[in-house]
Amino acid sequence: MAQPSPESIFDTLTAYQRRRLHFPEYDRMFRNAGFGRSEGHTIPPVEQQVIVSWK
């Protein structure tokens, strides 16, 4: 099974902004908050996604 790209992983609808945010937008937000690096991961089998960020 091919891994989805980070851009497609985080094509999620946020309740607060009511618009889709893609991984690069999350990455930029985390970098602006002082995190050095972020990675997107899919949690099988439920197709949930998480972002792991490091300071």
DSSP 19: S
Q: Is residue 15 within 8 Å of 27, Cβ to Cβ?
A: no
- Chain centroid offset of residue 33 CA: 15
Tell me the pLDDT tens digit for each residue of 10-53.
554 444 556 667 888 889 999 999 999 999 888 888 877 889 99
Q: What is the pLDDT of residue 13?
A: 43
Q: What is the pLDDT of residue 18?
A: 61
- Chain centroid offset of residue 23 CA: 4
CA distance 46 to 53: 22
Tokens of 37: 């690096």
User: Considering the entire predicted model, what is its pTM?
Assistant: 0.57
